[in-house]
Amino acid sequence: MRAGIVAKGHAGDLEAYLRRAVSFLKKKGVEVVLEEDLKGRVEGAQEGYPRRQLPFHVDFLLVLGGDGTLLSVADASARAGIPLLGVNLGFLGFLTEIKKEELEEALGEFLEGKAMVERRQMLEVEFKGRTHLVLNDAVINKSALARMITVRVCVEGTEISKIRADGIIVSTPTGSTGYNLSAGGPIINPQVSAIIITPICPHALTQRPIVIPSSSGVSLSLVSGEEVYLTLDGQRGEAMVEGQRVSVREARERLLLVRPAGRSYYQMLKEKLGWGS
């Protein structure tokens, strides 16, 4: 078995956790391959591949960092069909749910087949003839100094609204606790199959978030707006101009996300958000 490791390069005590991970995996007979940017940071691991290529050369991926680090490799991991185990070296950590103190325990549970491996819904986003995979969300928004934008929203080919707002978020249930939640959208359990459409600071207060079946196709057309950008999982972005359209639908691919055994989603909400307290 081969394990790949990607990490947030400037995370505190990164070398210590790299050494711990590599040592534990080697004792279990697992070959370790580092992402290219970690070259020389720890002994006992092979020099590896660029981050987005690494998932195609290993059997599972260990992420040491925060949610942004995990999101940067989620699409490639889903395409490769490998499990992704995230250990939080950052702050909140919804996706990198495993605590750094649980590193060896979590790896051991996974290698022994005791960990939970959830199949997380992803979205396929088509823009300017290219197709992208996202785990959390696709966001259309304006720059800080630009005026409100207008976006025509169609579901299954039928226009449901022209939203005038600072932007609009199309989110998965996994992404519901991210930007969607900050913009007033609902929390959706990731085991629910759905797509969430949430306006960002809409001009009309009647334009509220809506949850639609995951089988629905969503089309977002920019009617008006200057300095507008499409951002995917907060990692990749492109400028948009009036008349351009973004198409969003449920992807065939799923992210295989490793979670701690015995810890429910609702426990995680209480720990991370104080929800229900």
Three-state DSSP at 263 gives: coil
Return all residues near 220 (Cβ < 8 A) that are at least 6 apart. Answer: 140, 151, 152, 153, 154, 168, 170, 245, 246, 247, 248
Three-state DSSP at 26 gives: helix
> Which residues are designated catalytic?
67
Q: Which amino acid is at 249?
A: R
Q: Report d(CA 20, CA 50) in Å as an integer.
A: 22
- The CA-atom distances, in angstroms, between 110 and each of 60, 123, 126, 259 are 10, 26, 34, 9
Phi and psi dihedrals of 157, rounded to 5? 85, -5
Place of tokens 């089988």: 215
